[in-house]
Structure formats: C-alpha cells, structure tokens
Structure 1
Amino acid sequence: MALANENYLKTPEIYCFDEIEKRVNAFKVLHPNAKVIRLGVGDVSRPLPNEVVQAMHKAVDEMSVLDSFRGYSPPQGYDFLIEKILKEYRSIGVFLDKDSIFVNDGAKSDIGNIGHVLGRDNIIAISDPVYPVYENATIMSGRAGVLTDDQKWSNVVYLRCTEDTGFVPELPTEKVDVIYLCNPNNPTGTVMKKPELKKWVDYAIEHQSIIVYDGAYQAYINEPDVPRSIYEIKGAKKVAIEIRSYSKTAGFTGLRCGYSVFPQELLVYTKYGEEVPLIKLWSRRNANYTNGVSYIVQRGAEAVYSRKGKAEVHELVDYYLTNASLLRNELLSIGFEVYGGTNSPYVWFKTAYNQSSWKFFQQLLYENHIVGTPGVVFGSLGEGYMRFTGFSSREDTLLAIERLRRGV
C-alpha cells in the first residue's frame, strides 16, 4: 500500500489565486460582455525586452548546429551568466565567489526547495501578512506542526507586520532557526532600510539562524537608503541566502529563470553541533535533482546585463512602477490609507468602510469590474486590506483609475 505525504493535505485545496480565478470566472458567466481589469495576480503584461529576444533567437540557431549544440546545463548554470551576475553585485559593492551562485527556474522553486537541505526540527518564522508560498512550503515539508484554533501553525512563528509596525516585520521575541524575509515586501510593497535590515542580520548571527532573503523585486528599489541586496549589510554572508528572479525584472514569468546565492561562510549544524557549509548540501541537492535551466533561457538572462538590455529592463520596470504610482496616488486622493507603490510594483490599501477583504473584492469586481487580491489570502493580519499591482497595461490602469473615481 503506497502511503501519501499527508502534509500536502494540510495546505488549502485551492491555491489562493485559483480561488480568485474561480470567482472571476463566475462573474464572467453572469456578465459575459464586461471588460474586467486585472490588478490582482502579479503576472507581467509587457513583452520581453528586444535584447533578450534577439539573444534567445541566436541561441536557438546555435542549438541547430553541431559545433555549437548544447546538452545539459551545468547544475549551477553557465559561466557566461554567472559572471554577469557577479559583476552586477560588484557594482553595488558586494563581492561574491563564483561557486556561490546557482541559476534556477525562478525564485518560487528555490523558496520551496530550500527545505530539502534543512533539518525538520527547525523553527520557522514568517511575516503576517506574507507571500503564501513561505507558509505552504513549511507545511508541506512537515515542519509546521498542528493547526491551532486561531488558524496558526504551532511550529511557525508569525512576525507581526501591520500598520503599527509600518508593515515592516517585528523581530521575534523567541529564538527561531529559519527566517523568511521579502524586501521589497510582497504583498505590502513596503521596504526595510539598512538599519532595519541590520537588526535582522544581527539577530541571525546571535542565534545562529538562517535568513531566506527573497529579493525578487530589488530592481524596483529607487531610494538610496534601501538595500538592493542583504549582503550590503555587514555579516550577512554568514547568515543569509539571497534569492532573485528575472520574472518581474525582465518579464521572464513565462520563461522561468532566476538564481540563488549560497555564500561559503553560511553554516548549518548537525545535531552534534558540527559545522557544515550549507552550500555543500545545496550543491549535492542540485547535482541529484536538476539538470539545470535551458541554454536558450540562460542566454536570454545574460542579455539583461548588456548595455542595451539594462536600458530596456529599466524602461520595463519604470513602466510598471509608474502604473503603481498612478494607482497609489488615485487611492490616496479618494481617501484610502495606502502603502507601497514607490519602491515596489505592489500597492497595499485598507478596504472601504472596514469591509472584509473578500467582501471588498466582490464589490470591486461586481461594481467596478476590477480584480484585486484580498489581503487575507496573505495571512490573518492581512484582513481588511487589498493588494493592487502595477503589472497591468497603462491603458487598463488608467481605466481602472477612472472607474475608482466614479466611486467604490
């Protein structure tokens, strides 16, 4: 008799964004001619930068010629891409070893897979509200414990991230082993500046903890006192894994490519207290579980770092940031309490008349034909909030603003 991994049964049967899609489809059945504007799910809408497309076309041609054909990628990724990544870090004063970079098929994969090389008894800390994958990965790996009466998991430490804290997570009052941080934050769009991030690095050093640092939105940072990398903080290489993605930076949501950084200095411990470099375990996992990201996609990612590629990516990021800024300013002008939307493509705001998140979602959908993301899907402390994204087209963003002006 084959037994199931019952931890998978503990996660919601319907992923939160699938539930949104289900409700939107129900609306479309009743209103087949309505133009629905999607400001909810964080998928991009603009085409790939031309420099990326040209690089991938060239790579396809190479694959058709015997002398330039490529098979499996090296498990860590091709040197041509890794060298560009290292150079980009050096431009902000961060110096990394070549062996510390691991190219992946997007940030989401490594966020979930990191649990494979960490002990089952680790206490996990996540923000509330937060990107759902952090909690779901903890549940499915068997680390979450049991669900309590207040719908919290017994072995997870929830870090309050509310209006009172400026939507910056509070340091835990107890010892935790693994901490998930996202900066700029998804869903709130808020950021931690260097002094705030230093507190987390100092905490992790003191408690021999690991920070899983999700930097998927670092390209949207435009203020000098907000770090683009956790490694800008002294001592961070001893305690932090940094995960980045090309999805929201260069429109790779359909291509799938990113990378993770595992510094040589980052240690974990056996039950007898022996030190083990985490990179040693991650390298073994990679060698056994992946054949790498395709050559064609990695050539596309490499093109992001060319002079022309950087200009095109900057234009793309600026397009989405402008959308977010337009939404932020409109929401503020009609009286909403708003966060994010400046160093992030996400705009986080309180619902009208203190309605529940799902009730306000329904109101926006049926009265304004606008789809947002209910804050409660990101955690209990997200109740009473909504998330908009700047990833729609400019035309749809302006149309949504016009509809909001007519009243919510």
Structure 2
Amino acid sequence: MPFFLEPHWASTQERMRSQSVVLCIQDTTELDFNGQDIDGLGPLNYEARRGLYLHPTYAVTTEREPLGVLDAWMWAREELDADGVRPGPKESTRWIEGYERVAEMAPDMPHTRLVYVADREADMVEMMRRAHELGTPADWLVRAQHDRCLPGGDGARLWASTTSAEPLGEITFMTGARETQKSRTVRQQLWAREVEIVDGERGKLKVHCVIAREVGAPAGIKPIEWRLLTNRAVATQEDAVELINWYRARWEIEIYFHVLKNGCEVETLQLAAVDRIERALALFLVVAWRVTYLMRKGRTCPDLDAALFFDPDEIRGAHLLAKKKMPTPPPTVNEVVRLIAQIGGFLGRKSDGEPGAKTIWRGLDQVLAAADTLRALRDGLG
C-alpha cells in the first residue's frame, strides 16, 4: 500500500492502545470497474467482469466503534491459462499473512488483546497452524465452513461432536434490518467443545468449537446458525456469548465496504491505470473510515461536543456552506453531522431518520474544501 497511509496506520494503532480488546476484522470485497478503460484490471467472479480485489484489516472495539484500517491488499487477478489454471500466488495466503500482521502488532500493545476475526474463507488449518507456530500472540476467531472428521478413527465429525452435550445456555439479540428482512429478535442455543483437528502436517491442533443455533425462528425464515472456531477456551455461557458478540461485530466491515462503494462511490473512479486507482483507493480507505466513524458517533453519542470530532475550520465551514450562524453553546456532533449531510443532499425531514454514508461523504467533501479555504485566507492575511 502507498506510504502515505502510514500516518493513518500509526493513528489507528494509537487508538487501539487505549482499548482492552480490539477486534481486527478481515474480509475481501470486489471492486467492479467493468466497462471502464483502465489498464491492468483483472477478472472478478466471472471472467468477463473486470475489476480489483480489496482485502483490508479493519480495527473496531467490542462496542463496534471503528478505530481505523491496519493494512490492506489490493490486486488484480491474472487470466486463466490454457489449462484453466490461474497463475500467481494463492489468494488464500492473504488470510495467513493477515494474521501474521496482526500478530506482529501484539508485542507493541501489551495491555490490549488483539483478536483476528474472519468469515468462512479463513477456515484454513494453515492459518491456525501458523498462529500456533508464532505462539498465538493474537487470538483468532473464524467462522467454520468444514465439518471436519476428528482424529480417533470412530468417524466423529466436528459439528455433531460439539452439539452432542447439553447446551451451555442461550444468547438473545436483535438483528438489523437487511434488504427485504425486518429487524427481529434472535434466540440461539450455545454449545462449545475443545477438540483436536489434524494440522495438515501429520500433527494435531487443539481448537475450541462454538455453535450457536437459533430456536423459535419465525415461519418462513431460515434459522440463523453460526459455527465458530477459536484458540480461546470456552468454559461457560459467558465465554460463548462474548465470542458470539465478537463475531457479530464482523458486520462492521460490511458496513465499511458499503460506505466505501456506495457512499464514496470508488467504483466510479475514472483513471487510466490500476496504479492510479490503487493510490486513490488508499486515500478513500481513510475517508471511508472517517465517514463511518462520524455516522456511528452521530447516532450513538449524539450529544458529544462536535469539537471532539471536527477541527474549528470544519465546523465553521459547514455552517458557512449551510448559511447558518454559529450556535451558542457549541454544536453537538449529531448537529454537525446532520448539517454536513444536508450540504450533501440530505433533506432532514422527520421521516428521513439519520443521514447515511452517501450524503455525509458528499457534504464532507465540500466542508473539507471550505475548511482549507478558511485556513488559506487566514494564513494569507497573516
């Protein structure tokens, strides 16, 4: 990644040091530039679709506050060769490298527990073995996709073995509304078990499996079931609930991708070559984090002083663009976020709720330019 991301990485790590636990979430997303004349693009999930892949590590607190981006890989896939094989390094190695980068940070944060969190693609024994080889300086928590045969020769499988005992207890939470599904209450039974799995090198690894299975799902709705693997011991219901809540926080990287693609609209970038796209994306990684951070703070801590999140020129620039007088007392973060969104096209009617990523970004872009102008005028006037 470009060197100018280093200040953001350093600031992210500084924010992490103030937390007792930080979730380091990894995932991969497609960036679709199909139809654009950009040198260096590669195929996506279909050979005819053209674009790039992005694989960041996104740090959040256990309360889901975004702390920033820790690193990111961007690449274009190579074309299939005559035998239908794709040249180049295996994309799966990025999950292992991702854990290694998180593990490298752990010694510099002795008072912060780092937890590597990932979805099914990271269910690789190679990643677990690598963590074990390094001494597991960072915990890991991944969603399982393989119902492994367990050693012992009796044909026992991972998932059935885990749920063969009595449940540890239950967890209840609300799901967010998504597309055609409304928000609803979910109740899951919890099981956990320590098991040994083969490590791919004629050895065995001890891991802990947690299964959360929904009970009483509404008619016509597929029950939610999660099967997780971790290095952490799970002895009680509280242990299992903590891990489930950490896994649920993985949704934050999906929100981040949504902001990046739909708020910042990075897939509409019109640049001539991939190296220019990569430099622009590096900047937008930081912008998308700030938009996500402001969006969350504006909703969860609306009455905090805006000066904690904006510099004075940004606050003044927002009021100038909106043709509003600076208020007394100073504005709250929610008031400034809504003002910025209104500059970006948010109507702010009672029925509109809180502003989304697109209007916040469009307004923030104008506010940042206004703030730069105010600074230039002040400096020019001496």
TM bucket, shorter chain = under 0.3
* TM, length-normalised to structure 2: 0.28
Larger Rg: 2
Structure in which a larger fraction of residues adopt strand: 2
Higher relative contact order (Cα pairs below 8 Å, separated by 6+ residues): 1
Report the TM-score, using the length of structure 1 for normalisation.
0.27
